[in-house]
Structure 1
């Protein structure tokens, strides 16, 4: 079991990052709330991980802190909720926000998460209510602030295309349809925005 990685952050291409530890590059899939909390490229980063082994793949999921990882592990135990949906939940809201939704039976906010229908949302609220009844946050949740992804700015149009394209691809990876992703990015687009800025603003606009 790989529980934690500490190394140099080489790439950010949401929802995946590449981190080099001891000469080995690990591809890690992370929720956007965790990606926002990462340092700049080529700096040292610590990622708490959850390792999933399937017949056709070995997948590594990463989180900014143990609180997010713990919640992810609880969520994927819910019937019908797998790692991809767990990732979408923690990309749409912080751990504290999700716990608050469960505590207040906020079905409306849960249903807005991509891939979560009404029945799944109801199941999440029912099953997570017992699992979170003794939940205590002992670590500050990852702040929803944007980092910066260095991009070679030879031409402004290149930056715009890359930022919009990367943001749309990230939203599709999180479960949104191509049409939803394109529309939400179009609504929040600013020429100076990085892909992380666009993803963050788009996710906020859809909740």
Structure 2
């Protein structure tokens, strides 16, 4: 298996790129999130890779980060999701946004991705609900936190009190924007006690 590739970026033709490694050109398909972070052609680039061997050939996929590759691999495990669809998902949503959509069970965000219908979105939410947070520890809780908001601290407090991640995320989703940590914990606990 090829796990990482480093060389000169020879060509950029979205979603494919060509990396020259000591005179050997490797074709890789990359999500648009990785494509936009690539340097100019002729520059050195290093990408995490996933290699797929199928009847019709060997395929190499490149990713700017380990989290992107781990997410791609989790997407491939979902029934009916192939490499093209997985790349489309990563091109349409960042890893953090995908983790947030899954943690908060927001199918609407997934349906906006070209090639993802309602049934596919629901299957992604169902099958990745428990797997993605395990593959990317702490990402779902971070994803639920918004900049300038204390939601991450509130979620961590609820987790420390013994609530599971789904309960904590559901309670935090009900909170008003900009709520402080102590008020947020108090309101979330009230909501959880009524449930």
Check whether TM > 0.5.
Answer: yes
* Within-5 A mapping of 1:23-102: 23-102=23-102
- Runs of 4+, deviation exceeding 3 Å: none
Cα deviations across residues 21-63 of structure 1 (Å, max 9, x unaligned)? 1210001000000011111110100011100111112111110
The CA distance in 1 between the partners of 2:19 and 2:133, in whole Å, is 35
> How many residues are matched?
138
Unaligned runs of 5+ residues in structure 1 are: 139-207
Structure 1 residues 21, 137: CA separation in 2 closer, same or farther (over 3 Å shift)? farther
TM-score (norm 1): 0.65
Alignment RMSD, CA only? Answer: 1.2
TM-score (norm 2): 0.68
Q: Which is bigger in relative contact order (C-alpha 8 A, separation at least 6)? A: 1
Q: Please name the residue that 1:136 is paired with.
A: 137
Shift of 1:88: 0.3
Shift of 1:137: 6.0
Q: Please name the residue that 1:188 is paired with.
A: none
Q: Please name the residue that 1:113 is paired with.
A: 113
